[in-house]
Chain A
Amino acid sequence: AQTVTQSQPEMSVQEAETVTLSCTYDTSENNYYLFWYKQPPSRQMILVIRQEAYKQQNATENRFSVNFQKAAKSFSLKISDSQLGDTAMYFCAFSNDMRFGAGTRLTVKP
């Protein structure tokens, strides 16, 4: 099985500032997808962003963007202009066996 590692159990950021969450993974496969999911206290897992491994261009969705470094097997999430509603657990996931990292608890402070 592939492994997905999130090394930051908790992070905090001031409202309107930028924060970056880290994720590394281990695989010998060449074609795959990577995801960031958000899980607020409601428990609902919500897809934030998806990256296709064969695309060099980093994915962007509004205030959310990724820094995908395929050779380094790194996939970080940048949240710009952080909002209070961004407070949640964030999970990185790898497509080929749908494994998730342990998560990062992000708190946005007013």
Chain B
Amino acid sequence: GAGVSQTPSNKVTEKGKYVELRCDPISGHTALYWYRQSLGQGPEFLIYFQGTGAADDSGLPNDRFFAVRPEGSVSTLKIQRTERGDSAVYLCASSLTRVRAGGIAFFGQGTRLTVV
């Protein structure tokens, strides 16, 4: 597609439920990043994929959070046993090459997750 696509745009779930958030990167982009953005704050790094592998998952807050990218394109962020504190906008970005190596990250419009 022309840009990074994230679905759904909004998700409301009950505390304790499981949710999946999807990110479709720009075609051909090998690097993919997930961020969490709480209200009024900057994006908080969660995980970075290079191809199919998670090259850096140091930002995942705990073992309730997990992300996959099985074919090196679409990625899914999975949150188990959701808590009210998980409410935030989840942003995905992709780049042709790793940003550290000069790539430019393009962002999707995010998924607003609300845990009630």
B83 vs chain A, min Cβ distance (A): 22
Q: How far is the CA of A96 from the CA of B42 in the complex (A)?
A: 17
Q: Which of B20-28, B63-71, B72-80, B97-105 lies on the face that meets chain A?
A: B97-105
Q: Are the C-beta atoms of A42 and B109 separated by less than 8 Å? A: yes
Q: Which of A32, A35, A100, A101 is most buried by chain B, counting CB atoms within 10 A of its CB?
A: A100
CB nearest to A104 among chain B residues: B42
Given contacts A33-B102, A98-B48, contact A44 B107 (CB under 8 A): yes
The distance from the CB of B7 to the nearest CB of chain A, in whole angstroms, is 14
Looking at chain B, what size class is its interface with the partner chain?
20 to 34
Give how many A residues have a beta carbon under 8 Å from the other chain's beta carbons. Answer: 24
Q: Which of B42, B99, B105 has the most CB of A within 10 A?
A: B42
The answer on a CB contact under 8 Å between B100 and A96 is yes
Enumerate A66-107 residues with CB–CB distance to B below 8 Å. 91, 95-103
Taking CB atoms, residues of chain A closer than 8 Å to B14 are none
In angstroms, Cα B31 to Cα A70, docked, is 27
A1-51 at interface with B (beta carbon < 8 Å) = 1, 6, 32-33, 35, 37, 42-47, 50
Known: A95-B99, A95-B100. A45 touches B107 (CB 8 A): yes
Asked if B113 is at the interface of the complex by the 8 Å CB criterion, the answer is no
Report A89 CB to chain B, min CB distance, Å.
8
B110–chain A nearest beta-carbon distance, Å? 5
| Given A43-B89, A98-B33, A98-B99, residue A103 in contact with residue B105 (CB < 8 A) | no
Contacts of B56 in A (CB 8 A): 97
Given A91-B42, A102-B42, 11 other A-B contacts at CB below 8 A?
A: A6-B42, A37-B107, A43-B91, A43-B112, A47-B104, A47-B105, A47-B106, A91-B43, A95-B100, A98-B45, A103-B41
A residues at B contact (CB < 8 Å): 1, 6, 32-33, 35, 37, 42-47, 50, 52, 91, 95-103
Q: List 9 A-B contacts (CB under 8 A).
A: A32-B100, A33-B100, A37-B107, A43-B112, A45-B91, A47-B106, A98-B45, A100-B44, A103-B42
